[in-house]
Amino acid sequence: MTKICVAGAGYVGLSLAVLLAQRHEVRLVEINPAKVALLQQRKSPIVDKNIEDFLAHKELNLTVGSDAKALMQDAEFIIIATPTNYDPKLNHFDVSSVDAVITEALEYAPQAEMIIKSTLPVGYTKEASVRFNTQKLHFSPEFLREGMALHDNLYPSRIIVGTENPEAGQRFAALLQQAALKPDVPILIIPPTEAESVKLFSNTYLALRISFFNELDTYACKKGLDSKAIIQGVCLDPRIGDFYNNPSFGYGGYCLPKDTKQLRANFEDVPNCLIGAIVESNSVRKDFIADSIIDMRPKRVGVFRLIMKSGSDNFRQSSIQGVMKRIKAKGIEVVVYEPLLKEDLFFNSRVERDLNTFKAECDVILANRAAPELEDVKDKVYTRDLFHNV
């Protein structure tokens, strides 16, 4: 049994803690007291059906608290999964939380191998290893979907560890592989800077694919063509495939907006056209959606759900918020229906909690994804969801 400490109870850290606590002794450090209280009651602070089920019904060797010193001591691995939000002023991820955990780990558990799961700017692991004078710092990119984080750890597409110490990297990869339900998971041990690049390029490719089909949809709308028919024809080509092709209001969520912007910043001194265009395309798509609504001349627009998709509780960087702000800038009243919101106002727009009232009082209802609750007012609904999937 390996002693593992996980820093951060977001969807990455919590899913890993639950995954590994099936076989090993796991201590989860979280600074938010509300999250700690919930987890100590074996309740999940995030929406993820598998995490909720494991916490409630599985036998897990999991301790949760806020005392980093007590929980880190004698750990063999410390997994760093703290948030690294993108700072638009600095054109850089804010890595201060990662720096803080490394400082604590070196003080409280100098014997531990530190595995960073937080998304990083390219080159951070190598630079931090020099700055902190340690050979125990490694980076392992995660490839998790919101609301499906534990599922994606149980059935990973691949396990990648970026390290200058292949032996330590193999030991950590083995922990993840042994806890997974998927057999024969590909494992790749590569240098840390290459691993950081894999994460950013992977997410930027997904953003590219979303942007491509959104621009196809914009073209079809402007030309009076059947967007769904075009997409179906394009995606019958097996080289293209029938996935990540459902038009939306733009990509959003925890990862894609910040990762694409960080990669664009990393390309500052490198010739490129495509990477920067992906970020710009997402903004142009929101302009098109907002203009389409404004052209309808509605008196009151309803925003149906702020979350990115069903099964998620994340509002952050959701594309519908960008559309909403553009519509409000034209003086059009916006009403929000979002059951997960506790506030009465969201960006100075009224939050309506009664769905029937919401549907009755809005001229147009914006829905990034179609929902059965709106079927009775589908003539009011504006969505680009053509295939009714994520």
Which of 9, 22, 4, 10 lies closest to 179 in space, CA to CA?
Answer: 22
DSSP-derived secondary structure for 100-115: HHHHHHHHH-TTSEEE
* DSSP three-state, residue 302: strand
Length of the chain, please? 390
Q: Report the 3 state secondary structure along 233-248.
A: HHHCCCCCCCCCCCCC
In the set 5, 221, 235, 255, the catalytic residue is 255
Q: Give the angle subtended at the CA of 102 by the CAs of 97 and 107, to the nearest 5°.
A: 130
Tell me if residue 5 is catalytic.
Answer: no
Residue 364, number of CB atoms within 10 A of its CB: 18
Residue 291, number of CB atoms within 10 A of its CB: 13
Which of 289, 352, 356 lies closest to 325 in space, CA to CA?
Answer: 289
Q: Report the 3 state secondary structure along 76-92.
A: CEEEECCCCCEECCCCE
- Cα dihedral value 48, 50, 55, 61, nearest 10: -120
* All domains of the chain in start order, with CATH: 3-190 (3.40.50.720), 200-382 (3.40.50.720)
Pairing of strands 349-351, 333-337: parallel
pLDDT in tens, 39-84: 999 999 998 999 999 999 999 999 999 999 999 999 999 999 999 9
Q: Please state the pTM of the whole predicted model.
A: 0.91
pLDDT in tens, 165-218: 999 999 999 999 999 999 999 999 999 999 999 999 999 999 999 999 999 999
pLDDT in tens, 285-319: 999 999 999 999 999 999 999 976 555 555 666 88
